A and B are shown apart, each in its own frame.
Chain A
Amino acid sequence: MNRIRYMVEKEIQQLRRNPVLLRIMLAAPIMQLILLSYAANYEVKNLNIAVVDGDHTTYSQRLVGKFRYLDNFRMTGYLASDKQARQTLLAGDADLVLVIPPHFERDLAKEGNTSVQLLLNAIDGSKAGIANGYATAIIRDFNADIRAETSAVAPGTIPALDIENQYWYNPKLEYKTFMVPGVLFELLILVGGLVSALNIVREKEIGTMEQLNVTPIRKHEFILGKSIPFVLIGLVLFTVGLLLGRFLFQIRIEGSVALMYVFALLFLILCVGLGLLISTLADNQQQALFVSFFLLVLFILLSGLFASTENMPEWAQWLNILNPLKYIIEVGRNVMLKGSTFRDVSRPFFVLAGMAIGLLLLASWRYRKTV
């Protein structure tokens, strides 16, 4: 038991002697939190829209005015012809062009129907899809306005069914709100998994590992002695991340903060277990770095941090059963944004706990004082 204390003390002394690493360990993840949350952004804003108005009437002006009103769109100007519209799209000066045909107002008033055309740059398919969705909604809205005005004149028109969306948990559909809880946990893998693996492999490289292996230190003493400092640093990091989320990103924690910490602790133990396992498999820091990096990228890309896991191919979803990051990100979002309680997230809790125990057992089985 005492040996664990000496191990922890030694690790902390060594960390203090390496202020650059300490600073990188704290600063890099925080920068990542800020950068990823602000930059990795799928919100579609500032869509450049150009208009070919072949009608020049009050109706056409009103339609265009509706686009101006929304801050997702930025009006770049009027164009004279379809030909010019194509050139504008080609040059990338507009993301979409609204083409209002001649006699737009007359047809709409007299015959009760007409059509407008949307030209979209669809190289980025998802962006074009979202732009199309916005534009269609505006046009539908315009249509509803006109019908409301004219319905007094033409009674008996069937009232249109109106769908009104209410976005729960992230009412403003802010990407930051979606990213922060995920990145917060993703950061812990860096310290818990990568840094701990490198730390132990370094002891192998410099020969102190062999020295420790001829001492009577027990496996669990070594493993705990190595784990505790990294779990503690991870918890400090997590706290900083939570504070940033609250005060910089203005994300209120709907659920229990204690529950968030329970999961942070569990996840850190899991990460350290993974780091330990990697360190028993790798002979030098290059190998450890390569293996960790490979796993890290795989975990992150499949985790649902950026893209929803439900839309992934079936094989990827199968792989994801083993991806601890997927569970913890789900939990983070649910507890932080939805206010889920332990009962709501008990399944991922037991899955993660099982993984953590499995990894630690595997690591201590692989860790041999005698080869």
Chain B
Amino acid sequence: MEKAVSTNQLTRKFGSFIATDAITFDVNQGEIFGFLGANGAGKTTAMRMLCGLLKPSSGEATVAGFDVYRQSEKIKQNIGYMSQRFSLYEDLTVRENIRFYGGIYGLRRADIPTKTDQILQKLGIESVADSLVASLPLGWKQKLAFSVALIHEPKIVFLDEPTGGVDPITRRQFWDLIYEAAHNGTTVFVTTHYMDEAEYCNRVSIMVDGKMKALDTPAGLKTAYGVDSMDAVFQILARGTSTK
């Protein structure tokens, strides 16, 4: 089966600083792929290259079967993206945001109201459909941004620290949405630095200083490092020390 994402020695330099250093990995279709690392480990840079926002310095990568150098516009038709920075228009209503992104992603005009109702209903936010996004709590905004990133039913969705700054209950609800998307066949590529979230992924990779230090299932990683939590695995790899 064709891989959702495939990279070979993918590298990005900013001047003499190597943000992402020759990473090689594959993401299978339909899996939830966790991309772990401390702040500044190179996660966002790698993700931006895969989304066609940043040109790689060297190496190869394909996303949904398209080449990141030559076919970035094709990639954009097949992916959803939710950035670290909140990316809906605060001065538009919930409905207007959905309509706008639906239109930009080329949904048919007649399909947009149906799609809007679906999203509102799924998130249980019908009551604020005509409120400005600025007035929503952060957790709602993030769930809405996620739904908007999926509006065109992409093959792969990239989530860059989607749950930053929200309470544990909302984070759990957010992960329910991620599971649902994966269940419907969307490949989920998610960066995080919450280790409990790493446990929810099918496979996780751990980035340290631009390099990919480990890649396996959470269970496999815990066994390999002889510890009982992802947090402990991360401590060993990121700091080069064991907490035990």
Contact = CB atoms under 8 A, between A and B. Distances in A.
Interface stretch (B47-55, B192-200, B201-209): B47-55
A259 to B, nearest CB: 37
A283 to B, nearest CB: 14
Nearest to B82: A211
Contacts of B103: 2-3, 5-6, 9
A48 B91 CA distance: 58
Interface stretch (A11-19, A111-119, A189-197, A352-360): A11-19
Count class of interface residues, chain A:
20 to 34
B42 to A, nearest CB: 16
B100 A371 contact: no
A206 B85 CA distance: 8
A206 B109 CA distance: 27
A13 B53 contact: no
Interface residues of B, number: 30
Nearest to B99: A6
Contact of A17 (B88, B92, B100, B106): B92
Residue among A6, A208, A214, A216 with max Cβ neighbours from chain B (10 Å): A214
Contact of B85 (A2, A3, A7, A210): A210
B76 A214 contact: yes
Given A17-B91, A210-B53, A215 B100 contact: no
Interface in B70-128: 72-73, 76-77, 79, 81, 83, 85-92, 96, 99-101, 103-106, 109
B92 A10 contact: yes
Contact of B104 (A13, A14, A206, A217): A217
Given A211-B81, A216-B77, A370-B55, A3 B104 contact: yes
B129 interface: no
Interface string A198-237: 0000000011101111111110000000000000000000
Nearest to B87: A211
Interface in A1-43: 2-3, 5-7, 9-10, 13-14, 17-18
Interface string B210-230: 000000000000000000000
Interface SS, A side: helix
Contact of B100 (A9, A214, A216, A369): A9
A351 to B, nearest CB: 35
Given A10-B96, A17-B92, A371-B55, A215 B72 contact: no
B83 A370 contact: no
Contact of B109 (A2, A211, A369): A2
B72 A370 contact: yes
B55 A6 contact: no
B237 interface: no
B38 interface: no
A353 B244 CA distance: 72
B210 to A, nearest CB: 18
Interface string B157-198: 000000000000000000000000000000000000000000
B89 A214 contact: no
Given A2-B109, A3-B103, A14 B92 contact: yes
Contacts of A215: 76, 101, 104-105
B132 interface: yes
Interface of B: 51-55, 72-73, 76-77, 79, 81, 83, 85-92, 96, 99-101, 103-106, 109, 132
Given A10-B100, A214-B51, 6 more contacts: A5-B103, A6-B100, A210-B83, A211-B83, A213-B53, A215-B76
Q: Which 3 A-B pairs have the closest CB atoms?
A: A6-B103, A207-B85, A211-B87
14 contacts: A3-B103, A3-B106, A6-B104, A7-B104, A206-B85, A210-B53, A210-B85, A211-B87, A214-B51, A216-B104, A369-B76, A370-B54, A371-B54, A371-B55
